[in-house]
Structure 1
Amino acid sequence: MKSILLAGLTGLVFGTGIVLSGMANPAVVLGFFDVAGAWDPSLAFVMASALLVTAIGYRVVLRRPAPVLDTRFHLPAKRKVDRSLFAGAAIFGVGWGIAGFCPGGAIPALGLGESSAWIFVASMLAGIAIARMARRSLAAARPQTA
């Protein structure tokens, strides 16, 4: 129960930060990408602040032997930039530039009643399902090595 409450509180703090920073508003995000028009640099300040907080947070938290609510840290094992990572990042960036939403901004926007956020989240979930099916299909079609 403690972990559920802590996860809810963390989500509430994150969502509040996203909404207060304007990142739940696709016009702000799209304004950042409009470098030839009415450019809005506020996204750069939000990102820089997030990177600073994350860098400090990781240094402090990873000094601990384990997280508060788990027995070990679950950090990515892969350190190599591969085709899958590059393709996923490119798709993410194109989608963010077209829609003005990323998952972190769209989910809090659901609570604001943004109809475009509902469409984005539904599309995102469909894309996740399709990608998982494609990955399973490709893995099954790959010849097994002994």
Structure 2
Amino acid sequence: MNRNIYQFAAALASGIVFGFGLSLSGMLNPARVQGFLDIFGTWDPSLAFVLGGAVVVAFIGVQVMKRMRHPALGDSFHVPTNRQIDPPLIIGSALFGLGWGIGGFCPGPAVASLPIGIPQTVLFVIAMLVGMTLHDRVWSRRT
């Protein structure tokens, strides 16, 4: 079989597991995310446990990756090399955080919750895609 089919199948399986985990943990509910960010109100600590679990899984994955010569379905690992904290990183992080806090979604849970059919989710994803497209068009002209 073609290697691209295996890559596609692995990506699809990863996405399904990720979406299922988001659903199982309640992270498709923007009220839960906003409850986590409301530290002076009715604080909901459940997102901290989800984030903690993600950190553990990512740590294990990075340790396994360090021992491998190359990924099973690719020629090389795609690991960020830029460690510089610059204005675009700070501005992008602030915009991401604002969108996350106001909308109650980050990109993964927003896309995963589309099948639920909440109108606000559809608007969030459309706004997210417009923002990504604008960024790509503006940023590609600068570099």
Matched, 1:12 2:16: yes
Whole-angstrom distance in 1 between the partners of 2:87 and 2:110: 26
Q: TM-score, normalised by structure 2?
A: 0.92
CA RMSD of aligned residues (A): 1.1
The runs of 5 or more residues in structure 1 that have no matched partner are 140-146
Counterparts of 2:80 and 2:126, CA distance in 1: 27
Q: Which has the larger radius of gyration?
A: 1
Alignment equivalent of 1:121, drawn from 96, 121, 125: 125
Q: Tell me, in whole angstroms, the C-alpha distance in 2 between the residues paired with 1:132 and 1:94.
A: 20
C-alpha distance in structure 2 between counterparts of 1:138 and 1:96, whole Å: 26
Does residue 1:132 correspond to 2:136, yes or no?
Answer: yes
**Where do residues 1-146 of structure 1 align in structure 2 (5 Å cutoff)?**
1-139=5-143
Count of residues paired in the alignment: 139
Report sequence identity in percent. 44
The secondary structure found in structure 1 opposite 2:70 is coil
Whole-angstrom CA distance in 2 between matches of 1:124 and 1:132: 12
Greater alpha carbon shift after TM alignment, 19-28 vs 56-65: 56-65
Deviations 1:105-125 (A, max 9, x none): 101101222222111111000
